[in-house]
Amino acid sequence: MTANSYDYDVVVVGAGHAGTEAALAAARAGAKTALLTTNLDTVGQMSCNPAIGGVGKGQIVREIDALGGAMGQAIDRTGLQFRLLNRRKGPAMHGPRAQADKKAYQNEIKRIVEEQPNLHLKQEIVLDLLTEQVDNRVRVTGVLVQGDAVYAARCVILTTGTFLKALMHTGEAKTPGGRAGEGTTQGISGALHRLGFRVERFKTGTPPRINGRTIDFDRCEEQPGDEDPVPFSFLTKTVRREQLPCWITYTNESVHGLIRDNLHRAPMYSGQISSSGPRYCPSIEDKIVRFAEKSQHQLFLEPEGYSTQEYYVNGVSTSLPRDVQDRMLARIPGLENAQIMRYGYAVEYDFCPPDQLKPSLETKQVAGLFFAGQINGTTGYEEAGAQGLIAGTNAAMLLQHHDPLVLERDQAYIGVLIDDLVTCGVDEPYRMFTSRAEYRLRLRHDNADRRLTELGHRYGIVTNDRHEALAIKLEQMKALHDVVCALRMSGVPADKYLKRPDVTWNDIQEAHAASLPDFSNDVVEQVVSDIKYAGYIARQDLEIERRRRLSEKRIPDSIDYQSMPHLRMEAKEKLSRIRPTSLAMASRISGITPSDVALLMSYLEGKRS
């Protein structure tokens, strides 16, 4: 090895939310790992909204935590407001969310990365991917960095965020860069083209930030945090710190008129940007056009930290020119005198359509090369962190010649996320919603540890301490369940009585206070949910078993779909491109019909006979 060469098992490129979780997971699984970033001061940075979680997203964060990841613990230690969303709905719809002290969160992630054994954090600019041809297949061998140094590795994980050939737009002004004040990454995009990957463009945007000292809060509606904050990490017992309020205000017809008058100066409408943006987090320009009948839109003013006056204006993502942004905010109640500290902008960037990936997140084109995060067409810190954790784990598993960690749709929201990506691809930046999960009664945020921690321990990414904490919790849940089943309410067993819609745990407590041992709220809530929804879950189990039988029917990677008789041309093309690993995966591909699946099943059975 020369003086300019460094040898690792895994190299992770990019230290955002995907990259940090990828590097941590690979290192926990025993791989000697290098995490490369262009700037050590932006590790784990929240480029957009200073918040973690939400409906669907909060479930993902708890799953990341159940698998030993860092995101949940970091937000518990640095959050400045915690709220459990959808409390009035059933437990499957509850979503924990927290505003973060932006800089404190970033520093906490960096601290966790720096203290992780097997992991080396390096400030480097990656110029190229290095590969070799082995047995008629291309495989990755490392990366070339600025200064003609080489990081040799048997696995490389790209978590490049919005930096691939990135271009920022504010009105007519265009600046190369993936984030305000930072540059772009050209060499990796070129390498991906050279290696034969399909590369396309997406866009995202961010709102202006304003000085809180110049906000008239008397004209806004206060939104406090929960009095009993629900932590994200299963290792956090309680969250005890002063919570800061967020504030609510609204746009109005005057704001909408100003935006309509200046649409010709908005890059999305002037033709300056032609790529797709996130449908479920649209710019204010898009909202005014798509929802023309609405006279106002709700905005959230969110503090960015305890030691800063900077506020994030959630709901006003925009790439309008600076002068329009100034006038727009001045027409919003409470913001008449607001000083903009950072102007909003849009970013166009390269991504690789994710149907080029295996379910392990390894690329089909290049052995040992993994993608995670926005390079796969997703949006959001939580979705990125989840992909990073899976990619990092599977890079280590590949090196150890173990089967990859592939979560099923009935096991985790992470399983839904990755299956959607590799099976269906994306035509807009992907965001997680509870509606995407068929089995969300099983995939509650409160039971993520029961679903995933044992599995993570088997893969070496969950510590013994976390595994033992789960065992204690399961013992407590069994003890409480046995107690409830032994009690009676109005002549019937208490567990059957608790299934009635109008009956709550408080009713059981009031009737049997002396008989009930003291258990944590977490244990009580899960036992009650298990009892109340047992019938629904049992019905879901039948559907899960049917799908599992389809999943067990594996499809050889060598199958030639073009030679299959009677299969439609569209089916041949999509199956050849996506190359599903099972009949269940094939059935979820957009445009694949039940008849196609039946033909495929018949063909496979004929080959086996």
Burial class of residue 475, CB neighbours in 10 A (0-12, 13-18, 19+) = exposed
First to last CA, the chain: 52
Rounded Cα distance, 397 and 400, in Å: 5
Instruction: Look up residue 196 and give its two tokens.
Output: 């034969």
pLDDT recorded at residue 135: 86
Strand segments (E) across 460-591: 488-489, 492-493
Q: Which domains does the chain have, with CATH numbers?
A: 5-160+352-458 (3.50.50.60), 209-345 (2.40.30.260), 464-538 (1.10.10), 552-608 (1.10.150.570)
Cβ proximity of 393 and 405 under 8 Å? yes
pLDDT recorded at residue 280: 62
Does the pLDDT of residue 64 top 90, yes or no? Answer: yes
Does the pLDDT of residue 3 top 70, yes or no? Answer: no
Confidence grade of residue 249 (pLDDT, cut at 50, 70, 90): very high
76, 92, 96: which is closest to 84 by C-alpha?
96
Beta-bridge mates of residue 174 = 169
- The pLDDT tens digits for 429-463 are 999 988 888 888 899 999 999 999 999 999 999 99
Rounded Cα distance, 319 and 161, in Å: 19
pLDDT, mean over the chain = 92
- The pLDDT tens digits for 146-179 are 999 999 999 999 999 888 888 888 888 888 776 6
pLDDT recorded at residue 57: 96
Lowest-pLDDT range, 39-48, 366-375, 385-394, 599-608? 599-608
Cα 539 from chain centre: 28
Instruction: Look up residue 431 and give its two tokens.
Output: 């965001």
Cβ proximity of 349 and 183 under 8 Å? no
Rounded Cα distance, 314 and 301, in Å: 6
Confidence grade of residue 608 (pLDDT, cut at 50, 70, 90): low
Give the angle subtended at the CA of 471 by the CAs of 467 and 474, to the nearest 5°.
135
pLDDT recorded at residue 572: 92
Instruction: Look up residue 386 and give its two tokens.
Output: 């989840």
Beta-bridge mates of residue 12 = 35, 157
pLDDT recorded at residue 173: 82
Average pLDDT over residues 519-548: 89
pLDDT recorded at residue 101: 97
- The pLDDT tens digits for 465-484 are 999 999 999 999 999 999 99
pLDDT recorded at residue 459: 98
Instruction: Look up residue 111 and give its two tokens.
Output: 């601290």
As a whole-number percent, the residues of the chain with pLDDT over 70 amount to 96
Give the angle subtended at the CA of 229 by the CAs of 532 and 16, to the nearest 5°.
105
CB-based contacts of 93: which residues, under 8 Å, 6+ apart?
Answer: 55, 86, 434, 440
Lowest-pLDDT range, 13-17, 167-171, 555-559? 167-171
Half-sphere exposure in the Cβ direction for 345 (13 Å, CA): 22
pLDDT: is 244 or 134 the higher one?
244
Cα 208 from chain centre: 23
602: number of Cβ within 10 Å:
12
- The pLDDT tens digits for 359-398 are 999 999 999 999 999 999 999 999 999 999 999 999 999 9
Give the sign of the dihedral formed by CA 429, CA 435, CA 439, CA 441. Answer: positive
